[in-house]
Chains A and B, each alone.
Chain A
Amino acid sequence: MASETKLQGLAKAKDIYNHRSKRARQLKAEGKKILGYFCCYPPLEIMTALDFLPIRILGDMDEPITIADGYLPTVMCIFYRSCFDCGMKGRYDYIDGFVGSHACDGAERTSHIWKNYMKTPCNFFLDIPHTSRPEAVDYFRLQIDYFKQTLEQFSGKTLSPDRLKEAIALHNEQRALVRELYNLRKPDPPLISGTEMLQVIIALMMLPVQEGSALLKEVLEEVKTRKNVPEKKAGRLLVWGSLIDNTAFTELIESAGLHIIVEDTALGTRPFWHDIEATEDPLMGLAKHYLQEVKCPRTFLPTGSSYKEDLEGRFSYLKEFAKFWKVNGVFGNIIRNCDIHGYEVPLVREYLEALGLPVLIIEQDYSTASLEPLRTRFQAFAETIG
């Protein structure tokens, strides 16, 4: 393992990506409490404000799922099965608390089941409505308040509104830095690859917010001035859909004649694209942000008066990505058994093809062992774009 004191920027991000629990374990040894959470919805700001380190729980595409077979069925989201499997294998044995969430079915049910078998001193299940009308926002605000109270009780601290506002500002700063990094993918060729971006994003999710922002500043400086930019390729992809959390996948795509330019996924733009509004009641600001501004098909948006209006309401933000990042192809990544993206497939394909964008949809099994057969599909797709 490289000495982290010598590492900066992208190299540091890669090191953290490869040794994801390392920083958390160091901080835990110094007395910090660690909270593992599922998905984009648990408010990181509350965890940060009460001096917890939030760690995004992820699966492992390299690890065959074994233990989970005795607890979770095979006909469910493979990513969340993998998360559970990793948990049962002790990968998250250092967390002091578990924050589950009603993001999607996979997250929800795995959250409930997790708590029965992996005991931590602190647990909270965050219920999140699927609708986002005013009454749903109010209800969600209350759930966030209960979350805050649970963490206050566990930490022995009281969270003041001002402290929470400070934490919101810190996380907003990080969001802005991420967006700045995404801007460096607009040039042709992009200044940072999809593989590097994934390493940075995952590194952020394993660090305290201020350390993450410091890392981002290093990365930005390095990338802006780098001489060794990725080689120019014909394909500039928007990745839409289920998350990708393993660089073996991004490397395969990028070795097939394609750049990954922007990711509309849970490990891409979705957690970072909008700042939390500074509201008098910061809990309401959190509720509105997480429920109404995080773009994920798990949140039902009103369908409007027509199919066309519905598609515009749900997918028009993709036009912005396509236009400003000069995307010329879309990869729809569907982890097998992912319903929230699965039902969208024909619709989003229709919408994007109407914009003139070729779309490649692949249902995959969240396993590096099953990636290689996909290579020819990406190569063929690159040829259609080029």
Chain B
Amino acid sequence: MANDKEKKTRKSGKTLETAREAGYFGKKMLKSALQAREEGRPIGWSMVTWWQGELIAKAMGVEMVFPENYGAFCAAVRQAEPHLEIAESEGFPSTLCGYARNCIGYAKKLADNNFVPPADAPGGGLAKPVFFLSSGCACDARYKWFQALGRYLDHTPVWTLDIPQTGTVEYFLPGNKEAGIQFMVKHLRAYVTFLEELLKKKLDYDLLGQMVDQTFKTLRLAHDVDVLRRAKPSPMISTDFWSVMIPHLYLPYDPEAYEFYKRVYAEVKQKVDSGIGAIPNEKYRMMFSELPPWHSLGFFDELAERFGIAMVMESWNYHAPVPIPEEEIAGINDPIELIARLSYRKWTEYNEIARRYNVDPGFFMAAYFQYAEDYHADGLFAHPLMSCRPATYTLLHTRNMLEEKLKVPGVVVDGDIIDLRVFNEEEAFSKIEAFVETMDHYRDLRKKAAMAW
């Protein structure tokens, strides 16, 4: 067995060639923003808004960077700690989101360095923004955090975009879906007005339309890759996905992202057609929820080696949405409305299955019912995170409901997105070792119940 030092620095073995290429896009984002700074072009710091606000800003010439992604990057290269310490010394509670504390600490360093990214900043750092794009969706941190950054980055306005988050029953109330979409359309038009005033230029709707069109294509292709992954053995696993997701989540409008996904699709299809699994000895198919331990992705390789566990599906919030039915967008040419429908789709895509199983909420949770059915999952790896509440709130509940309604058990292994000290690998392996027997047991139960898997 690898010694401690080797374990801690073991990188994950991505099984796809294209997954190994995907790091290019993360670096491209950082580099583009630094280049924009050099050239005097505006930069925005953005939350993931599920394509709601990023596309519009990009169409207006703003180079967008994503501090959430930067937090994951800093964690992966083990350079988040100094930023966390700064945030805590500034008085921000240590229980706040790890990505946020990483960003707050970095923002202070940026401010102290006269708004020049410090020379030792991981990945070259994030350049000073002209505005912050925050989100009222998914969690409170995602609008409170950017609000707090005014302390270090003065005269930098924050714009918050909402996405309706109704309950399952409420979603189906007559007219509520369309009302939610039209709320978002008006919301986005107000955002456009804000940007036009800030940047002193008009939005090029034709350009935005092209970007939206490309986005739909890229996300469709990313979804098609997800569909391929239903094959047995699984052609692609979670550690691959957590790399390849970067372009579709952050850069779906980029033609390079689309070309990349064509290669991903081709590679995965080839493996499906050849019956080649991502891991050589697939015995168990597990789902992972929700955010991974970026600092310790090699852990999943060892799960595969030791137990034959293939992580076949994961992280609902990072995936491309199930495509919108054509009839819902037929004849709609307004790119603003298409964006609204796309983002709304992401947050409501599994409400039908939530209704079928009579569970709430539809987001973060119901997806795993669909995944269990589609991917023939044997178990759920539920990963509560010390500093990411949205990705943690519903984990135990999801585990409970999957076990009750689909006879798919779950194992709970604590960790964190940033703080590697919280994740005890040996303890995790022990739990999984015992859990394998649980998965065997529930397979028998499903068989006796004549379920499909």
Report which A residues bind B (CB closer than 8 A).
Answer: 70-76, 100, 102, 104-105, 108-109, 111-113, 115-116, 123-125, 127, 129-131, 133-136, 138-139, 142-143, 146, 149, 297-298, 300, 302-308, 310, 334, 336-337, 339-340, 342-347, 349-350, 361, 363
**B396 and A71 contact, CB distance less than 8 A:** yes
- Which residues on B sit within 8 Å (CB–CB) of A304? 157
Q: Given A75-B386, A113-B360, A130-B160, is A339 in contact with B394 using a C-beta cutoff of 8 Å?
A: no
Residue in A closest to B143 when the chains form the complex, CB atoms: A300
Q: Is the CB of A125 within 8 A of B96?
A: no
Task: Determine whether the beta carbon of A129 is less than 8 Å from that of B136.
Answer: yes
Question: In the complex the two chains form, is B148's CB within 8 Å of A112's CB?
Answer: no
Residue numbers in B under 8 Å from A76 (CB-CB): 389, 392-393
**Interface: B155 (CB within 8 A):** yes
Which stretch from B8-16, B87-95, B267-275 is at the chain A interface?
B87-95
Residues of B within 8 A of A303 (CB): 147, 150, 157-158
Q: List 10 A-B contacts (CB under 8 A).
A: A71-B400, A112-B394, A113-B394, A124-B170, A125-B166, A135-B183, A135-B190, A300-B160, A303-B157, A346-B91
B353 at the interface (CB under 8 A from A): no
Asked if B155 and A306 sit within 8 Å, CB to CB, the answer is: yes
Contact call B397/A142, Cβ cutoff below 8 A = no
Chain B: interface residue total (CB-CB under 8 A): 59
- Quick check: A349 and B396 within 8 Å, CB to CB? no
Looking at B90, B140, B175, B386, which has the most chain A CB atoms within 10 Å of its CB?
B140
B153–chain A nearest beta-carbon distance, Å = 8
Rounded to whole Å, the gap between the CB of A247 and the closest CB of chain B is 26
Say whether A310 contacts B393, CB under 8 Å. no
Q: Which residues of chain B are near A346, meaning CB under 8 Å? A: 90-92, 148, 151
> Could you tell me if B136 and A300 are in contact, using CB atoms closer than 8 angstroms?
yes
Residues of B within 8 A of A75 (CB): 95, 384-387, 389, 392
**B384 pairs with A130, CB closer than 8 A:** no
Structural contact, A127 and B166, CB atoms closer than 8 A = yes
Does B144 contact A344, Cβ atoms closer than 8 Å?
yes
- B150 cross-chain contacts in A, Cβ below 8 A: 303, 306-307, 310
Kindly identify which residue among A131, A142, A363 contacts B179, using a CB–CB cutoff of 8 Å: A142
List B residues at the A interface (Cβ < 8 Å): 90-93, 95-97, 100, 134, 136, 139-141, 143-145, 147-148, 150-151, 154-155, 157-158, 160-162, 164-167, 169-170, 173, 175-176, 179-180, 183, 186-187, 190, 359-361, 384-387, 389-390, 392-397, 400-401
- Pairwise interchain contact B154-A342, C-beta atoms closer than 8 A: no
Kindly identify which residue among A73, A112, A135 contacts B167, using a CB–CB cutoff of 8 Å.
A112
Question: Which residues of chain A have C-beta atoms less than 8 A from B385's C-beta?
Answer: 75
From A109, A308, A342, A361, give the contact of B394 (CB < 8 A).
A109
Q: Indicate if the CB atoms of B147 and A300 lie closer than 8 Å.
A: yes
**Chain A residue, CB-CB nearest to B398:** A113
Docked pose: A74 CA to B387 CA in angstroms: 11
Contact among B143, B154, B161 for A306, CB-based, below 8 A: B154
Contacts of B170 in A (CB 8 A): 124-125, 127, 143, 146
What are the residues of chain A within 8 A of B180 when measuring CB–CB?
139
Minimal beta-carbon separation of A318 from chain B (angstroms) = 16
Are B187 and A131 in touch, CB under 8 angstroms? yes
Chain A residues, Cβ within 8 Å of B165: 102, 108, 127
Our pick among A125, A133, A347 for the contact of B151 (Cβ within 8 Å) is: A347
Report Cα–Cα, A246/B183, bound state, in Å: 40
- A343-B360 in contact (CB<8A): no
Q: How far is the CB of B406 from chain A (nearest CB, A)?
A: 15
Find out whether the CB atom of B93 lies under 8 angstroms from the CB atom of A363. yes
What's the nearest-Cβ distance from chain B to residue A95, in Å? 17
Chain A residues lying within 8 Å of B141, measured Cβ to Cβ, are 339, 343
Query: What A residues does B400 contact at CB under 8 A?
Result: 70-71
Chain A, Cβ-Cβ closest to B155? A306
A115-B167 contact in complex given A303-B150, A307-B150, C-beta closer than 8 Å: yes
Cα distance, A74 to B392, chains bound together (Å): 9
The 10 closest A-B pairs by CB, nearest first: A130-B136, A125-B167, A343-B144, A135-B186, A346-B91, A109-B393, A139-B183, A307-B150, A112-B360, A112-B361
Checking B90, B162, B360 against A125 with a beta-carbon cut-off of 8 angstroms, the contacting residue is: B360
B93 touches A334 (CB 8 A): yes
Nearest-CB residue, chain B, relative to A336: B95
Chain B residue at minimal CB-CB distance from A361:
B91
Q: Give the Cβ gap from A85 to chain B, nearest Cβ, in Å.
A: 13
**Max chain B C-beta neighbours (<10 A), residue from A135, A303, A336:** A303
Closest residue on chain A to residue B132 by CB atoms: A303
Q: A75-B95, A342-B95 are known contacts. Are A136 and B151 too (CB-CB below 8 A)?
A: no
CB of A105 within 8 A of CB of B162, answer no
Contacts of A109 in B (CB 8 A): 361, 393-394
Chain B residues with CB below 8 A from A73, complex form: 384, 389, 392-393, 395-396
- A-chain residues with CB within 8 Å of residue B151 when the two chains form the complex: 307, 346-347, 350
CB neighbours (8 Å) of A138 from chain B are 183, 186
Q: Closest chain A residue to B161 by CB distance?
A: A131
Task: Please name the residue on chain A nearest to B135 by beta carbon.
Answer: A130
B214 to chain A, nearest CB (A): 27
Q: A139-B180, A300-B136 are in contact. List 20 more A-B contacts (CB 8 A).
A: A75-B387, A75-B389, A102-B165, A104-B140, A109-B393, A113-B360, A116-B359, A123-B167, A124-B170, A127-B164, A127-B167, A131-B136, A136-B187, A146-B173, A339-B96, A343-B141, A343-B145, A343-B148, A346-B151, A363-B95
